[in-house]
Amino acid sequence: MIVFIAIVKILVFLNFCDAMTMKQIKSTGKMMRKTCQPKNNVADEKIDPMVKGEFIEEKEVMCYVACIMKMANAIKNGKLNYEAAMKQADLLLPDEIKEPAKEALTACRKVADSYKDVCESSFFLTKCIYNHNPSVFYFP
C-alpha cells in the first residue's frame, strides 16, 4: 500500500512538472512493477520479453499489463481512457518519443474495443502499440 501511495504522489507531482526523462520514466516504471507484479503472480521471465516484442498470452501477464495501465491512468472503468492516456503522453513523455507514442496510441485505440476483459484489452492494445512503433516502446 505504501508503494501505491508513493506512486500516486509521484504521478500527481509529475502532472505539475515538465516532461520526464527516460531515466525518470524507467524509475517510476520499476515502482509500478513492484506493485503489479506480485498482485498478478507473474515472473520476470514472462514480462521482460515484452520490450523485444514477445508477448506471452497468459492471464497473469495480461492482468499485469492491465494493472500497469490502471496505475498510469490509461484505463478507467475497465476501458481504455484514450483522452487521459493522450494527456499523460503530452505531460510526461520526453519530446523525442512523445509524438510517435501518441501516433501509436491513436492507431491502436480501437483494438481495446474488441475485448470485454480488461486484462485482454490492455494486453492486446499494448501489443499493438509495440507493433506500431517498437522504437518508442517501453513497458515496465
Task: Parse the chain into domains and list their residue ranges.
Answer: 2-136
DSSP state letter for 50:
G
Produce one character per residue of 34-73: b if its CB has 16 or more CB atoms within 10 Å, e if not.
Answer: ebbbeebebeeebbeebeeeebeeeebbbbbbbbbbbbbe
Reply yes or no on whether the pLDDT at 2 is more than 50: no
Judged on CB neighbours under 10 Å (0-12, 13-18, 19+), 4 is: middle
pTM of this structure: 0.81
Residue 135: all three cell numbers together: 522504437
CATH class of this structure's domain 2-136? mainly alpha
Question: What backbone torsions phi and psi does residue 17 show, to the nearest 5 degrees?
Answer: -115, 175
pLDDT tens track for 76-132: 877 888 898 898 888 888 888 889 989 999 999 899 888 889 999 999 999 999 999
Question: What backbone torsions phi and psi does residue 80 show, to the nearest 5 degrees?
Answer: -60, 130
